[in-house]
Amino acid sequence: MNKYKILIFDLDDTLIDNLENVKYAFKIMIKSKNEEYNEENFIRWYQIDKKFWHDWQDGKITLPEHLKGETGKKSNEFLNWLRAQRILIYFNNEVNLDEAINLNNIYMDALTENVNAIDGAYETLEYLSNKGYYIIIATNGPKVATRDKLLKINCINFVNEILSADMFGYMKPNKEFFDGIEKTLNNYNIEDYLIIGDSLKSDVGFAMRCNFDSCWFNKNNDKIDDKYKPTMTINKLRELIEIL
């Protein structure tokens, strides 16, 4: 498997324990509203957040007229509006847009405060970096937050590039995200790439759309959807040390 030169890692739920990360940030956001945390409300938030970004990936979110013309890298106004929509949904539109933007900023800041690595993340990235692989983090999350998370788990020095949806204006699995990767690197062939991630849709599906190999990180032993064809599957990150 040493034909690969570039390893493209997803971040959340691949290198970072996203569930605990999101739970902590939700608690901070709710506290800022003087509301008490409970597990039922957190589950509701988690489901809203996950569904919203899936709907965004699938083109189901209707933009206001003045933002519809944006292509490529999005403006701060666009990103603030987009991220605030989850807050508005959660609070049943009982907060206004400005308050929703402020709550989202509190939430986003908190995402970088309490970060837990997936088991084996440090050892695996250290090994692969020392072996000379060019390591990219490709995430639908913000670049600044991604860098902060990698700093918190002491893995930033193993990473060559952080490439994010807010840089390109497109989320995985859109091929335009990969076009952004190619423009950034511009000196590698398609067979040099391997993407590693936990999501069949955003990672394996992304790889299939771009015609490069993928490694599905199936840490929960989920059943595979037949329409996705990962090149390989692992259950623990450390398995990459043996494979690569």
Per-residue pLDDT tens digits of the chain, which is 244 residues long: 568 999 999 999 999 998 888 999 999 999 999 999 999 999 999 999 989 988 887 888 888 988 887 766 678 888 899 999 999 999 999 999 999 999 999 998 898 888 999 999 999 999 999 999 999 999 988 888 899 999 999 999 999 999 988 787 778 888 788 888 888 887 778 899 999 999 998 899 989 988 889 999 999 999 988 899 999 999 999 999 999 9
CB neighbourhood size of 125 (10 A): 27
* DSSP assigned state of 235: S
Q: Are strands 6-9 and 193-197 parallel, antiparallel or unpaired?
A: parallel
- The correct answer on CATH 3.30.930.10 for the domain covering 6-16+117-243 is no
Omega of the bond prior to 230 within 30 degrees of 0, cis?
Answer: no
> Which residues, in sequence order, are bridge partners of residue 232?
215
Collapsed DSSP state (helix, strand, coil) of residue 155:
coil
Contact (Cβ atoms closer than 8 angstroms) between residue 169 and residue 140: no
Contact (Cβ atoms closer than 8 angstroms) between residue 97 and residue 81: yes
25: closest CA among 12, 6, 15, 14? 12
For the chain, where are the E strands, in sequence order? 6-9, 134-139, 161-164, 193-197, 213-217, 232-234
Collapsed DSSP state (helix, strand, coil) of residue 204:
helix
Collapsed DSSP state (helix, strand, coil) of residue 199:
coil
Q: Where are the domains of the chain?
A: 6-16+117-243, 19-110
Contact (Cβ atoms closer than 8 angstroms) between residue 37 and residue 31: yes
